[in-house]
Structure 1
Amino acid sequence: MLIDTHAHLYAKAFENDRAAMIERAEAVGVKQFLLPNIDESSIAGMLALEATYPGRCFPMMGLHPCSVKENYLTDLAWVREWLEKRDFVAIGEIGIDLYWDKTFIEEQKAAFRQQVEWALEFDRPIVIHARESIDLLIDMIKEIGDPNLKGVFHCFTGNVAQAQTIMELGLYLGVGGVLTFKNGGVDKTLSEISLERVILETDAPYLAPIPYRGKRNESAYVQEIAVKLASIKGLSLEKVASITSENAQKLFNLPTLQEN
């Protein structure tokens, strides 16, 4: 049994076959799906999935760094309203993105700090978007310095030293399709670290693993990531699925998966 800990299943890319896509995932053992929020427009579709697939689709709440602009305080206001209104499995996806645009770097930092404060207040893990910003975010988390903070570096693509630092901070590594890329480098990192704080994700519809690279990603393909990780670690697919699913259940306080 597998858990896709990061999938944008509400995305327009799935509008023509969303139910069939989820059935394909369940057919290969993917039993739970965690849905990161992006901005105010993604909330309705995310909550609709939760209503349609209770106990299987779990929404997060947060403001994606690429959605942080000069009016970020207005956006953070609705994030706060939702956090007070109902429960979410995590605060996410939040973080820093220095790949697309550095215009609002200071706003991204401020939005990240605020949402981390709320994660601590509501005792929820954070799901961190760290594109071109792993070291910066590690430094910010060290600066915050709260041992109660928990979370995951989503789509981790860093080196062994960064991975070890993240795990020493009590956080997890979210491993996705880049693990299967020939020159992705994540395979070399994962070969040298324990799976004690590793969870699996797709980031669907983005970053499809080999052999689907360049096509639309979907949650069923988390199996390809698990197969690659099993090969790297010299473990069975069942063992990798068990370890990573238990890690996800622990981090996100998910209900125990049932064999059915």
Structure 2
Amino acid sequence: MVLTDTHTHLYYETLADKRAELMERCISNNINRLFLPNVDMASVPLLFDLVHAYPDQCFAMLGLHPCSVKENWEQELNQIEASHQQNKIVAIGEIGIDLYWDKTFLKEQIEAFRRQINWAKSLKLPIVIHCRDAFNEVYEVLQQEQDADLRGIFHCFAGTLEQAEKITALGFYLGIGGVVTYKNAGLDKIIPQIDLRHIVLETDSPYLTPVPFRGKPNESSYLIYIAQKVAELHQTDVETVANITTENSKQLFGI
């Protein structure tokens, strides 16, 4: 059995000993594939340091997080794009629109999102979307940019069944994380209605820690609890969930 964490910021742990412990716990829980998105230029060297330390388990994605889109976003994105020249990446992300904290830079967020979509298309890579309080805005851009090269993951999905169906109709996977274990989140009603072929698993560590560790820092080894919950909701076993969601990730990322 192989589990795949399609979205983790494990590189935030910079102490080698603690990082090694995190990786050891992943491997002991059969989580052997970790996909890492950066958020800004400052996080790029941290990400690649981890990827270079664990090249068989960790895979890099690059993008400018919508919360990092400010007045100087074009300069920041230029630097991120340039860092790709020396390093292999498997996706563009995480990118998108976030209107939860601040709506000041909505116009710039949309511009940055669209530019990075086109960057992904030019490289024939998938995108990993961050969307918070901005489903309509994100969906409108995706509809406008839709073509045979547009594909990816709707990271941290916590929306409605109607939204899930719109996303999967575009050919995107739903990234299901710790929220599925939260009692009042509502995903327990939606996930059983979504075929596993539309789902990938993620932790978004160190955020969105699943039950039974909610309230503590998240880590990729906790993906097992997310897989167990999805298996329970689909009335199947963890190995089936692992096999299908890992195969989905292979189809998407090509590795």
Q: Common fold, TM-score beyond 0.5?
A: yes
2:132 alignment partner in structure 1: 131
TM-score normalised by length of structure 2: 0.96
SS of the equivalent of 1:101 reads coil
Shift of 1:135: 2.4
1:258 alignment partner in structure 2: none
SS of the equivalent of 2:75 reads helix
Shift of 1:174: 0.3
1:226 alignment partner in structure 2: 227
SS of the equivalent of 2:42 reads helix
Identify the range of structure 1 (207-216 vs 186-195) with the bigger mean alpha-carbon deviation: 186-195
Residue 248, structure 1, aligned to residue 249, structure 2 = yes
1:33 alignment partner in structure 2: 34
SS of the equivalent of 1:10 reads helix
Shift of 1:83: 3.2
SS of the equivalent of 1:50 reads helix
After superposition, the Cα gap between the structure-2 partners of 1:240 and 1:125, relative to the gap in structure 1 and judged at 3 Å, is same
Shift of 1:64: 0.6
Q: Deviations over 1:41-89 (max 9, x none)?
A: 1111111111110121001111011100011110111122123444201
The answer to whether the 8 A contact 2:37-2:61 is kept is yes
1:202 alignment partner in structure 2: 203
SS of the equivalent of 2:193 reads coil
Shift of 1:13: 8.0
SS of the equivalent of 1:17 reads helix
Letter in 2 for 1:107: E
TM-score normalised by length of structure 1: 0.95
Letter in 2 for 1:232: L
Shift of 1:15: 6.8
Q: Deviations over 1:220-248 (max 9, x none)?
A: 11000000000000111110010000001
After superposition, the Cα gap between the structure-2 partners of 1:218 and 1:211, relative to the gap in structure 1 and judged at 3 Å, is same
SS of the equivalent of 2:122 reads helix
Identify the range of structure 1 (224-233 vs 184-193) with the bigger mean alpha-carbon deviation: 184-193
Compute the RMSD of aligned alpha carbons: 1.3
After superposition, the Cα gap between the structure-2 partners of 1:225 and 1:79, relative to the gap in structure 1 and judged at 3 Å, is same
Aligned length: 254
Letter in 1 for 2:8: A
Matches within 5 A, 1:1-260: 1-12=2-13, 17-254=18-255
CA distance in 2, matches of 1:76, 1:235: 43
Shift of 1:7: 0.4
Instruction: Determine what percentage of the aligned residue pairs are the same residue.
Output: 47
After superposition, the Cα gap between the structure-2 partners of 1:15 and 1:55, relative to the gap in structure 1 and judged at 3 Å, is closer
The answer to whether the 8 A contact 1:128-1:152 is kept is yes
The answer to whether the 8 A contact 1:126-1:150 is kept is yes
The answer to whether the 8 A contact 2:13-2:19 is kept is no
The answer to whether the 8 A contact 1:13-1:205 is kept is no
After superposition, the Cα gap between the structure-2 partners of 1:3 and 1:118, relative to the gap in structure 1 and judged at 3 Å, is same
SS of the equivalent of 1:147 reads coil
CA distance in 2, matches of 1:132, 1:186: 17
Structure 2 spans left out of the alignment, 5+ residues: none
CA distance in 2, matches of 1:14, 1:105: 36
After superposition, the Cα gap between the structure-2 partners of 1:170 and 1:87, relative to the gap in structure 1 and judged at 3 Å, is same
The answer to whether the 8 A contact 1:173-1:197 is kept is yes
Identify the range of structure 1 (191-200 vs 82-91) with the bigger mean alpha-carbon deviation: 82-91
SS of the equivalent of 2:130 reads strand
Structure 1 spans left out of the alignment, 5+ residues: 255-260
1:257 alignment partner in structure 2: none
Letter in 1 for 2:179: V
